[in-house]
Chain A
């Protein structure tokens, strides 16, 4: 009997990755949804006996979707597929009725194991297909977003463990900008916020750039409390906290990107751009030959705390071809 499978993810790249990871001989009718609201409609129309659900999506996120499935008692078996690998995220979705949690990037063999664990039968098709992917054209920006989403999830997991909190993960923001438009790349930091900034260069396999951590200075008192920092949070204490946070976030994020692309980056020593500065000050003293940049913004917020920092990946124009090659390997 044909199983109706629904894949709900805002990233077309992630939907493709998942479709490719499903067992090729599994007799399914596959539908797609780009957010929780679309998914609920399709489940109500009986198009989602098995639901693969992402967590971080616009319009309606995975948590809200799970709540609605519970509330309406909709007939679906949900497997959460997410880059957010904080243990707390796992607990939360299980409490909301999800069967299991599959971490991104998805592994086909793991999916088979999990399906059989919950007795979801993989009825063989008469004619097995090699892939359930519809081979639609790949949206590259969307792929970068998904790469960043997974990397961000790893960084959030470390930050959560370092601070003992739940880190909220917004959707990464991908832009192609001219270097003098850097301000357009950040949504989460306002131009008159007092900030601290640290940058760290990376290069490897034809992909180069820098990670820029921008820390809103209103966050320091809460961070100091979470890190059990004794004493006054003066300038040197702030620098200490800034370096601890940036080491963790930049490293985890860059490793996350490198692992997915199957490359390894050489990472330079971090450099403090400044404390008590404004966003405009970041470009002061920069004399770069680069005109255009690919930027990926990852804003981190911490639940119930006034902590907010922005990790910006700035990737050079001449890295784009290598990056795109690597990204397309991911779907082969």
Chain B
């Protein structure tokens, strides 16, 4: 290469040979298309992954040889490159691939097909007119698969960190988070909202008499009946050992009372069979409807806890609505 030509980033004819070699062997797909989508350049990457040789595809319309390419989508991208004389990029998140290439690594291949990122570049001719577009196809399978797996793992972890293992209800932290959100939302929109706290009466006795595995079964059954009784929009959580919370969205105290009584009666009628034992159990429930005198969600929760305490004082197996003193 002469000094002058290297200064201008240009090359001599004799250099083109090894430059072409590089373009052939680079692990990136290179295609050049003209305005009518006829293929002008098709490098080895494209030939080897597609099984279509340059001899077959050159001067042919791309869509005729690869009918599986989403034609409208691809045309739209290419046309904007011609119109704006500006490169365009697409990522695998938009569309996993343009060309459906099989996974070619039998044991370390991470997906059934090759994920692709694509760059479209306007190519100017000697007269500065844009008559061709360069298409670069990058194999990003490993990156894509790792990202998808990571996202799946993170989602699973997030769910796990919010779920109570025994009951599959929300755990205390997650449930309180929802309560705080509902508190602000209902405040802002001045919608009704009630929070219920309930616990299993004399639960310690169940554990002491029948053993912890039996106690666990009672808690599991309680959670199952709760799930069965509440609406899709209500939000339930296991608050402590035998203590549960339910957020009743768009619900005032008197409607909440209907729900609570239905739940209480169902549980009263339930019999948990464990080994040779038949265990009967009951619950006590307190509810507080959100009112203006609650400054934060904790005060609201305390109110329903106070109502629950009133039940405990007056004989258990009942429901009570919080009334300000």
Chain A contacts to B: CB under 8 angstroms: 158, 161-162, 200, 236, 239-240, 243-244, 246-248, 251-252, 255, 267, 269-272
Contact of A272 among B84, B86, B91, B138 (CB under 8 A): B91
Q: Are A247 and B94 in contact (CB under 8 A)?
A: no
**21 A-B residue pairings within 8 Å (CB atoms):** A162-B80, A162-B83, A162-B84, A239-B94, A240-B94, A243-B89, A243-B94, A244-B80, A247-B86, A247-B88, A247-B89, A248-B84, A248-B86, A248-B88, A251-B86, A251-B87, A255-B86, A267-B87, A269-B89, A269-B91, A269-B138
Q: Does B167 contact A (CB under 8 A)?
A: no
* Nearest-neighbor residue (CB-CB) of A252 within chain B: B86
Give bound CA distance, A64 to B95, whole Å: 46
Give bound CA distance, A247 to B117, whole Å: 13
Give bound CA distance, A206 to B175, whole Å: 52
Give bound CA distance, A272 to B117, whole Å: 12
Give bound CA distance, A236 to B80, whole Å: 19
A residues near B83, Cβ cutoff 8 Å: 161-162
Q: Are B117 and A244 in contact (CB under 8 A)?
A: no
Q: Are A269 and B84 in contact (CB under 8 A)?
A: no
Q: Are A236 and B94 in contact (CB under 8 A)?
A: yes
B68, chain A: closest CB distance, angstroms: 19
B185, chain A: closest CB distance, angstroms: 15
Q: Does B251 contact A (CB under 8 A)?
A: no
Q: Does B103 contact A (CB under 8 A)?
A: no
* Nearest-neighbor residue (CB-CB) of A242 within chain B: B94
A224, chain B: closest CB distance, angstroms: 14
Q: Does B119 contact A (CB under 8 A)?
A: yes
A248, chain B: closest CB distance, angstroms: 6
A207, chain B: closest CB distance, angstroms: 18
A210, chain B: closest CB distance, angstroms: 14
A95, chain B: closest CB distance, angstroms: 26
Known contacts A269-B117, A269-B119, A269-B138; decide if A161 and B91 are in contact (CB<8 Å): no
A residues near B138, Cβ cutoff 8 Å: 269
Q: Are B91 and A244 in contact (CB under 8 A)?
A: no
A residues near B93, Cβ cutoff 8 Å: 239, 272
Per-residue contact bits, chain B 111-123, to A (CB 8 Å; 1 contact, 0 not): 0000001010000
Contacting residues of chain B (84-139) with chain A, CB-CB under 8 angstroms: 84, 86-91, 93-94, 117, 119, 138
Per-residue contact bits, chain B 285-307, to A (CB 8 Å; 1 contact, 0 not): 00000000000000000000000
B residues near A267, Cβ cutoff 8 Å: 87
A233, chain B: closest CB distance, angstroms: 14
Extra inter-chain contacts (4) besides given A243-B88, A269-B117, CB under 8 Å: A158-B86, A243-B89, A251-B87, A272-B93
